């Protein structure tokens, strides 16, 4: 996943990608539009190739009509009813460790989602000082900031890849998986709070040079912003793996279906995303616009999730191992 992210964000940060497919640039589609169109075409080719390869090479034994009928007769209800019945049963039978895991995961993703939604917009509008709807120079400055944000996301993915390799030894050093999750959530909280500092420094620099300044910020400001992207790769590596590993471990220790428990865990991810999608815009508008109010809210939620992970989340009897079934279930 990290390698795919690196390649995708590298494509987004490269302004000459459209030269691979020159026909994508037209009178109605400028360089930025052509780059996006080229990315989409490359994606389509990759997806078609991989899907056709999977369909033609992977063999499976399809379930027969008789087997499907026997299963339905045994259950005595339709597959749709069975799904909802099993989902309700999964919530009813969840043990205390899983409820704490759902709570920490929920807060963790509520902290992450504002940045995941608006990171490149933050670079374009608040760090670079460009505008989506402004003069041609302001729009160009915004586009440069967005490409710098794509570069930051590529750096983030590289750090994520290396951090993923160090999860097991680091978790042993700091006393277990839950402590590591708490520590990296504190890193997340600090990085989201630091976006305020980077933004204010960029605004102060523009203030010194006058509001008419339409050039990218100095290297020191850009480096600070990109450093935040890189640091955030560490907690992101944990977010993408440890909650799923813990869900598998808790289910193994307490009893219960791993598949349903992982499905319930996914609900604690997508529901917070929907909540943040609805409230982040009004929150930003209430505090004068910009992305910082949502980032500050994320920082607070990340700190709360860190404390809950360290002090409330039960320590699993089986600690994380990259060779364990728990980690296999996570991926």
The span from the first CA to the last CA of the chain, in angstroms, equals 10
Give the three-class secondary structure for 1: coil
The Cα–Cα gap between 152 and 9 comes to: 8
Say yes or no: 13 and 154 in one domain: no
| pLDDT tens digit at each of 331 positions of the chain | 778 888 887 777 777 888 888 999 898 988 878 888 998 899 999 999 999 999 999 988 877 766 555 554 454 445 566 667 766 766 777 788 888 999 999 999 999 999 999 999 999 999 999 988 888 888 889 989 998 998 999 899 999 999 988 988 898 888 888 899 999 999 999 999 999 999 999 999 988 887 667 889 999 999 999 999 999 999 999 999 899 888 888 877 766 667 777 888 888 999 988 988 888 888 878 877 789 999 999 999 999 999 999 999 987 776 655 444 333 333 3
Total count of residues recorded for the chain: 331
Give the pLDDT confidence of 242-251 residue by residue, as tens digits: 998 888 888 7
The Cα–Cα gap between 108 and 110 comes to: 6
Say yes or no: 49 and 101 in one domain: no
Residue 65 lies in a domain: no
Say yes or no: 51 and 129 in one domain: no
Residue 82 lies in a domain: no
Burial of 286: CB neighbours in 10 Å, binned 0-12, 13-18, 19+: exposed
Domain count, the chain: 2
Specify the CATH number for the domain of residue 281.
1.20.1250.20
Residue 113 lies in a domain: yes
Residue 73 lies in a domain: no
Paired tokens of 74: 């045994």
Return the exposure string of 171-205: e unless at least 16 CB atoms fall within 10 Å of the residue's CB, then b. Answer: beeeebbbbbbbbbbbbbbebbbbbeebbebbeee
Residue 221 lies in a domain: yes
Question: Which residue range is the domain that position 16 belongs to?
Answer: 1-58
């Amino acid at each position: 996943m990290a390698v795919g992210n690196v390649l995708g964000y590298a494509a987004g940060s490269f302004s000459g990608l459209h030269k691979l497919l020159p026909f994508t640039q037209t009178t109605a589609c400028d360089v930025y539009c052509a780059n996006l169109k080229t990315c989409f075409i490359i994606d389509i080719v990759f997806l078609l190739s991989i899907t056709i390869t999977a369909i033609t090479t992977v063999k499976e034994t399809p379930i027969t009509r008789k087997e499907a009928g026997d299963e339905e007769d045994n259950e005595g209800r339709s597959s749709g009813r069975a799904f909802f019945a099993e989902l309700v049963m999964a919530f009813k039978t969840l043990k205390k460790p899983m409820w704490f895991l759902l709570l920490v995961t929920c807060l963790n993703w509520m902290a992450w989602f504002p940045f995941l939604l608006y990171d490149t917009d933050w670079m374009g509008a608040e760090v670079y000082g460009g505008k989506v709807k402004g003069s041609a120079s302001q729009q160009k400055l915004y586009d440069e900031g967005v490409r710098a944000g794509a570069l930051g996301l590529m750096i983030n993915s590289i750090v994520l890849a290396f951090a993923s390799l160090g999860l097991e030894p680091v978790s042993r050093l700091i006393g277990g998986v839950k402590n590591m999750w708490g520590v990296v959530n504190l890193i997340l909280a600090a990085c989201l709070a630091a976006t305020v500092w980077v933004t204010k420094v960029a605004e102060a620099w523009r203030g010194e040079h006058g509001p008419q300044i339409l050039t990218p910020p100095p290297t020191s400001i850009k480096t600070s912003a990109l450093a935040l992207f890189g640091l955030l790769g560490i907690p992101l590596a944990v977010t993408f793996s440890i909650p799923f590993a813990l869900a598998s471990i808790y289910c193994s220790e307490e009893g219960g279906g791993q598949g349903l428990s992982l499905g319930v865990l996914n609900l604690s991810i997508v529901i917070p995303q929907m909540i943040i999608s609805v409230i982040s815009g009004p929150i930003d508008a209430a505090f004068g616009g910009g992305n910082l109010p949502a980032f500050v809210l994320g920082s607070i939620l990340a700190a709360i999730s860190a404390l809950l992970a360290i002090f409330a989340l039960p320590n699993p009897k089986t600690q994380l191992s990259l060779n364990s079934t728990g980690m296999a279930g996570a991926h």
